[in-house]
Structure 1
Amino acid sequence: MPVVQPRVELLAHTPEPLSLIYAAFRQCYHDGQVADMWPRLLAGDISKEKQAAFVAAILESGHASPVEHVSFTFALSGVSRALTHQLVRHRIASYSQQSQRYVDGSDFDYVIPPEIKKHPEALARFEGVMAEIGSAYRELKAILEVAGRTGSKANEDARFVLPQATASNIVVTMNCRSLLNFFEHRCCRRAQWEIRHVADAMLALCRDVLPEVFMVAGAKCERLRYCPEGEKFCCGRFPVRKEGGA
């Protein structure tokens, strides 16, 4: 039962993302059809610098819906089921996750929290529990198979003993607006360590492809320049907003 680390890879994104967002924004303010403009955009008749400046100015005004036309697809592997339970709460997205019904969990991979790794006594106890669960899974599966529940039918019942530490693989697709919201919540220092690590890696990949949208993305405080979490939860990176203003 190997210990694994999260891995984030960008599988695909909408082609010509900046030009598509520019065209969508322009359609809102243009009396013609942007389909006539599209060949010029692809040919480079309208410079990327001009497109970027226009997109930045409109985004600054608060008009953000046209960025929804561009999406990114990521493969996340070696992440815990605890992380994927948090991830799927971001509802404007598409997910395809490794099934515990069809994938045998007899030798499941798992993720160890860093704070547990720091303490030898806690680590030994954690790893002992993982070994116990693996043994219980295999025993339950064998009992069920003898009773006639073979293949995925045995897996689907035995999986009920698997822990949240169990590693999983998942494909996720989000549009840019959903990603901006995701980064605001999950790049925050208050987010759990694992999903924050994954969100930071996803953000870095998005910035490489579309810096015009994602260069200023991240935790909500980075955009607001103050902490919206209040005194109780503020990490101290930015001041807390006071009553009546920032």
Structure 2
Amino acid sequence: MDVKLLAHTALSDEFYERISRIWDDLSYNGSTDGQAVALSAIRTCYSPGKPSEIVAKEGARYFGSKATDGESGTEADRLFRMIFRSKHLSTLEHLTYTFAVEGVSRALLAQLTRHRVGFSFSVQSQRYVKFGSGDKSGGFDYVTPESVSASDKTLMGDDLEVYDANELFAKAMDDAQSNYDMLRKLGVPAEDARAVLPNAAACNLVMTVNLRSLLDFYAKRQKGRGGQHEITQLSEELRKSVVAVEPWTDQFFAEV
């Protein structure tokens, strides 16, 4: 699995010019574009001011002052905590993140796409991308479940053969590839031959999600909540990618 953050919420040139007089100083102190957007959205709900003017007029107050709730960070952090804990989370939907997610199984994809609200997906097609051994793909890649790769048990079958989980799994993948190749040689189109490809077959996708929906996803799919290993791994990779560019969100992932 490889997860890369391709894009995230950034200030437009026009908006930056409007607030640049104070924003250069505030961003030097660690304030991020995402925080500026979040403050604009939150304060719009409670302020008579115009959304485009809130950061210029209130930014120094929120980003330049220590939190008054006794917790860490600035007054902006206090405001974000209050919004998060009061569940006024529509204001966090304005922050979006786009990821390249590579080398995940179709089994994970089936679980991931159950999270639809606030998510957008563009997925590598098994209909249009050909996965024959002689195609550009070189055949399909696959993801071995952790329980298989970690297995050290063996079993003697009725045929007196000794079976090992990793060997059985690898053989099943080889058989699926052979069957796919043979179907293609028999004239079966790729869109139908793909029916023999397993849930373990790897795929790539681009995914965009807003912060509110990502927090909900993480709450359900993080390690310790009963999720399958691969999707809990994905949830952690997504969290790390977001926190790297918007450190102030880490506290929310910790609380969901």
What is the CA-CA distance between 1:176 and the residue it aligns to?
Answer: 0.5
Q: Which has the larger radius of gyration?
A: 2
- Does 1:28 find its partner at 2:71? no
Q: Which residue of 2 aligns with 1:199?
A: 235
Which of these residues, 72, 75, 96, is aligned with residue 50 of structure 1? 75
Aligned positions, number:
206
- Does 1:142 find its partner at 2:185? yes
Whole-angstrom CA distance in 2 between matches of 1:200 and 1:41: 34
CA contact (8 A) 1:23 1:34 kept: yes
Whole-angstrom CA distance in 1 between matches of 2:9 and 2:58: 15
Alpha-carbon distance change, 58 to 114 in structure 1, aligned in 2, over 3 angstroms: closer
Query: Percent of aligned pairs with the same residue?
Result: 36
Which of these residues, 151, 169, 174, is aligned with residue 131 of structure 1? 174
Q: Which residue of 2 aligns with 1:234?
A: none
TM-score of the two chains, using structure 1 as the length reference:
0.78
The 5-angstrom pairing of residues 55-204 of structure 1 reads 55-92=80-117, 93-106=119-132, 107-119=139-151, 121-144=164-187, 154-189=189-224, 190-204=226-240
Whole-angstrom CA distance in 1 between matches of 2:245 and 2:239: 10
1:9 partner SS: strand
Query: Gaps (5+ residues) in structure 1?
Result: 1-5, 146-153, 224-246
What is the CA-CA distance between 1:62 and the residue it aligns to?
Answer: 2.4
What is the CA-CA distance between 1:39 and the residue it aligns to?
Answer: 4.5
Tell me which amino acid in the other structure corresponds to 1:96: S
Whole-angstrom CA distance in 1 between matches of 2:151 and 2:53: 63
Whole-angstrom CA distance in 2 between matches of 1:207 and 1:67: 14
Q: Which residue of 2 aligns with 1:13?
A: 8
Q: Which residue of 1 aligns with 2:247?
A: 211
Tell me which amino acid in the other structure corresponds to 1:164: N
Alpha-carbon distance change, 40 to 32 in structure 1, aligned in 2, over 3 angstroms: closer
2:186 partner SS: helix
Q: Which residue of 2 aligns with 1:237?
A: none
Tell me which amino acid in the other structure corresponds to 2:41: A
1:144 partner SS: coil
Q: Which moved more, 1:87-96 or 1:116-125?
A: 116-125
Whole-angstrom CA distance in 2 between matches of 1:135 and 1:30: 65
Alpha-carbon distance change, 216 to 58 in structure 1, aligned in 2, over 3 angstroms: closer
1:215 partner SS: helix
Whole-angstrom CA distance in 2 between matches of 1:165 and 1:197: 16
CA contact (8 A) 1:65 1:177 kept: yes
Whole-angstrom CA distance in 1 between matches of 2:200 and 2:55: 48
Alpha-carbon distance change, 206 to 140 in structure 1, aligned in 2, over 3 angstroms: same
What is the CA-CA distance between 1:46 and the residue it aligns to?
Answer: 5.3
Tell me which amino acid in the other structure corresponds to 2:2: R
Tell me which amino acid in the other structure corresponds to 2:230: E
Tell me which amino acid in the other structure corresponds to 2:120: S
CA contact (8 A) 1:116 1:122 kept: yes
Tell me which amino acid in the other structure corresponds to 1:193: H
Question: What value does the CA root-mean-square deviation take over the aligned residues?
Answer: 1.9
What is the CA-CA distance between 1:104 and the residue it aligns to?
Answer: 1.1
